[in-house]
């Protein structure tokens, strides 16, 4: 393989749409990293496990015993998905050099508050994965950055710098998962020049509304949103959220834009047509992204391109709306540059795991607010 080794990146995001397992081959590390996707497959959570995860996310229904159990349930689920892909590809576990697993985020606290310290919890027991998959597993990536004073997020900007920086163009890579986040790569940049932050909600609120109002997991292509109209009062209330005006570095999650908040908005405006609620939530996601560029990025950094990734990149209404509001910038999706929007974050964690195993720093302090560069990830050997 010309010094390539096989590895697997696993990502299960805030959208709760399943386990993304990316089989890759990789060689080198740092700026010499070369990674190629061989196969991506998404394994949906079982209905039972999805109920458990949602229960764990609610502070009123979760407890220590339940989280303890769920950690090992998820570890087994990640292992089953990984072994299934290895088998489907006609490979053996001994072919895989390592697995890098992000885990399922249960809670992410970005600041010390009310006697609670800055912290982040991802479940999915790595020892279980290492045992079941018979290989080395790197996990718990966020803790090292938090220990160094950072938010523990966003982590993907480090990988964006390694793989997608350009000598000729200033590029923003914008992932729209449950939460939306951007990485700004000025042309011919060094790692210190990279900025990144969570812009606000991506698919999270839209998906919850689709589940409550239509019994569907998501709005395919933005078809429902495209038929609705704007509920102005609802839109103004959403856009008044203080997070949107905070200066980076910053990160957010379900704690701010999750099920409880979304359900309260749906209930408050339940007298409005369902398609108008979905439309307004989609416009909110789009406008929060647009506001981030207009207020926080473009005053200090010109951009040639914004390239959208993640599940939201397939929402044609969302991307079309953003494109219309930012006419001076070329707006693309990952597919437009022959990459996979679905696979990007799983691949990113494979890269981060590779850095860990090479004892190489893999955080981006300018994005997370960490005091210094550190090696992220904890290693379980088989």
Tokens of 185: 């790569």
pLDDT of residue 321: 98
For 381, residues 6+ apart whose C-beta sits below 8 A from its C-beta are 130, 136
Residue 45 DSSP class:
P
Give the span between the Cα atoms of 309 and 159, in whole angstroms.
14
- Asked if the domains at 5-152+376-380 and 156-337 fall in one CATH topology, the answer is yes
Work out the average pLDDT over 129-136.
98
Indicate if the alpha-carbon torsion angle 173, 299, 364, 147 is positive or negative. Answer: negative
Give the span between the Cα atoms of 289 and 202, in whole angstroms.
9
pLDDT of residue 14: 78
Give the span between the Cα atoms of 283 and 131, in whole angstroms.
45
CATH code for the domain defined by 5-152+376-380: 3.30.420.40
3-state DSSP call for residue 147? helix
Work out the pLDDT band at 114, boundaries 50, 70, 90.
very high
More confident of the two residues 14 and 321: 321
End-to-end CA distance of the chain: 24
79-94 pLDDT tens trace: 999 999 999 999 999 9
Query: Given a cut of 80, is residue 266 above it in pLDDT?
Result: yes
More confident of the two residues 71 and 16: 71
Taken as a whole, the chain contains a residue count of 382
Measured from the Cβ of residue 51, the count of other Cβ atoms closer than 10 Å reads 11
Give the span between the Cα atoms of 18 and 121, in whole angstroms.
18
Radius of gyration of the chain (CA): 20
Domain spans of the chain? 5-152+376-380, 156-337
Cβ burial of 263 (10 Å; 0-12, 13-18, 19+) is middle
pLDDT of residue 54: 92
- Supply the mean pLDDT for the chain: 96
pLDDT of residue 79: 98
Give the span between the Cα atoms of 371 and 365, in whole angstroms.
7
Give the span between the Cα atoms of 339 and 332, in whole angstroms.
11
Tokens of 164: 């997608």
Give the span between the Cα atoms of 345 and 350, in whole angstroms.
9
Place of tokens 């005091």: 371
How far from 374 is each of 63, 148, 153, 356, CA to CA, in Å? 32, 8, 13, 10
- At CA 245, angle to CA 119 and CA 106, rounded to 5? 25
How far from 106 is each of 133, 269, 272, CA to CA, in Å? 24, 28, 32
CB-based contact 135:93 (threshold 8 Å) = yes
Work out the pLDDT band at 1, boundaries 50, 70, 90.
low
Place of tokens 């997020």: 153
pLDDT of residue 211: 96
Tokens of 2: 């010309």
Measured from the Cβ of residue 305, the count of other Cβ atoms closer than 10 Å reads 17
Give the span between the Cα atoms of 179 and 289, in whole angstroms.
11
188-246 pLDDT tens trace: 999 999 999 999 999 999 999 999 999 999 999 999 999 999 999 999 999 999 999 99
CATH code for the domain defined by 156-337: 3.30.420.40
243-259 pLDDT tens trace: 999 999 898 988 899 99
pLDDT of residue 98: 98
276-329 pLDDT tens trace: 999 999 999 999 999 999 999 999 999 999 999 999 999 999 999 999 999 999
């Amino acid at each position: 393989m010309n010094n390539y080794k096989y590895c697997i990146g696993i990502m299960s995001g805030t959208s709760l749409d399943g386990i993304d397992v990316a089989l890759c081959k990789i060689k080198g590390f740092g700026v010499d990293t070369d990674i190629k996707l061989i196969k991506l497959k998404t394994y949906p959570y079982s209905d039972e496990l999805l109920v458990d995860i949602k229960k764990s996310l609610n502070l009123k229904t979760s407890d220590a015993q339940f989280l303890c159990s769920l950690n090992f349930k998820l570890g087994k689920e990640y292992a089953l998905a990984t072994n299934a892909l290895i088998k489907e590809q006609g490979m053996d576990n001994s072919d895989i050099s390592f697995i890098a697993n992000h885990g399922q985020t249960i809670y992410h606290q970005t600041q010390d508050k009310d006697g609670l310290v800055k912290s982040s919890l991802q479940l999915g027991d790595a020892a279980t994965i290492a045992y079941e998959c018979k290989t080395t597993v790197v996990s718990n990536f966020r803790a090292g950055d938090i220990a160094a004073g950072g938010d523990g997020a966003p982590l993907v900007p480090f990988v964006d710098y390694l793989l997608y920086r350009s000598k000729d163009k200033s590029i923003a890579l914008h992932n729209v998962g449950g939460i939306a986040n951007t990485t700004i790569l000025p042309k011919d940049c060094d790692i210190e020049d990279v900025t990144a932050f969570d812009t606000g909600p991506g698919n999270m609120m839209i998906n919850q509304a689709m589940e409550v109002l239509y019994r569907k997991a998501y709005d395919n292509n933005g078809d429902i949103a495209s038929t609705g109209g704007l509920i102005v009062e609802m839109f103004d209330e959403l856009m008044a959220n203080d997070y949107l005006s905070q200066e980076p570095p910053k990160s957010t999650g379900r704690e701010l834009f999750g099920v409880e908040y979304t359900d309260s908005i749906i209930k408050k405006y339940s007298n409005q047509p369902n398609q108008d609620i979905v439309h307004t939530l989609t416009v909110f996601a789009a406008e929060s992204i647009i506001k981030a560029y207009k207020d926080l990025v473009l005053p200090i950094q010109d951009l040639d391109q914004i390239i959208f990734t993640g599940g939201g990149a397939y929402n044609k209404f969302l991307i079309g709306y953003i494109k219309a509001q930012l006419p001076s910038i070329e707006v693309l999706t990952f597919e437009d540059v022959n990459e996979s929007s679905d696979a990007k974050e799983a691949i990113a964690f494979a890269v981060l795991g590779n850095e860990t195993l090479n004892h190489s720093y893999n955080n981006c302090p300018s994005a997370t607010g960490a005091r210094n560069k550190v090696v992220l990830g904890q290693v379980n050997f088989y």
